[in-house]
Amino acid sequence: MKFIRKKKRRWHVLIELIELHGWKSGVELGVLGGQNILNLIKECPDLHMVGVDLWEPQRWQESHRDAGGRSYAGVDLNRLLKVLKCRIVERGYQERIELLQMSTLSAASEFIDPIMRGSRPSFDFVFVDADHMEDGVRADIETWEPLVKVGGMILGHDYQKDFPGVIKVVDEIFPDRTLYADSVWGAVV
Ligand SMILES: C[S@@+](CC[C@H](N)C(=O)[O-])C[C@H]1O[C@@H](n2cnc3c(N)ncnc32)[C@H](O)[C@@H]1O
């Protein structure tokens, strides 16, 4: 019998970490059609996720492709969001996935305010996969890292040559980062 080895994808990496650490709460910055978040929720029955995305084309990034800018011009992001919402309901995941249609930085302030009031909500992990340009990745890491529990992890996608900003920022902020399959990076907070 012939075994076909499937390529290890970002959700396989995350599922292993979620199971290993018993994580229950995570955030995905940049959701798009939900391929990653739906796989995580399907495979990890105790997991709750917040998914943040603008679901709006970033036309100004069109001229920054060489720097890893992604505009999503021409992608029907509204439709992707609609289909994702339907899948969440069909599969009964409403209680386990919260979608926030806003910028990653605005979303952080939704969770940061309570910190000021002393009740700090925090997540076991944050997966950074939104703006892939240097300034955007840096802002996402710096803004969201304080929302990760001590001992939790901040992770991200696309640590690869097409996204030089991701490599630069991750190496600067987390010299001890671990690199996983499918260009996932991760660092313990
Ligand atoms: C690479 S895709 C995410 C893919 C998804 N994480 C997965 O693994 O299936 C990047 C997404 O980030 C979103 N995005 C980019 N910049 C953003 C920002 N500043 N705030 C919120 N979402 C953003 C885009 O709309 C796009 O849907």
Q: Where in the chain are the domains?
A: 21-188
Dig out the tokens for 12 from the structure: 């396989």
**Ligand 1 pocket, residues with Cβ under 6 angstroms:** 10, 28, 30-32, 35-36, 52-55, 58, 72, 103-104, 129-131, 157
Supply the pTM of this predicted model.
0.95
The predicted pLDDT at position 21 comes to 98
Contact between residue 178 and residue 4 where contact means Cβ atoms under 8 Å apart: no
> Which residues, in sequence order, are CB contacts of 32 under 8 Å at separation 6+?
53, 77, 80
Alpha-carbon distance 51 to 32, whole Å?
9
What is the pLDDT, as a whole number, of residue 60? 87
Look at domain 21-188 and name its CATH class: alpha beta
Provide the pLDDT for residue 87.
Answer: 98
Tokens 């720097």 belong to which residue?
67
pLDDT score of 112 = 77
Of 140, 144, 93, nearest to 122 by C-alpha is 144
List the pLDDT tens digit at each of the 189 positions of the chain: 566 667 999 999 999 999 999 999 999 999 999 999 999 999 999 999 999 999 999 888 888 988 889 999 899 999 999 999 999 999 999 999 999 999 999 999 888 766 566 566 689 999 999 999 999 999 999 999 999 999 999 999 999 999 999 999 999 999 999 999 999 999 999
- Predicted confidence at residue 111, as pLDDT, reads 85
Buried b (16+ CB within 10 A) or exposed e, 70-97: bebeeeebeebbeebeeebeeeebeebb
Looking at residue 120, its pLDDT comes to: 61
| Residue of 9, 27, 32 with the most ligand 1 atoms within 8 Å of its CB, for mutation | 32
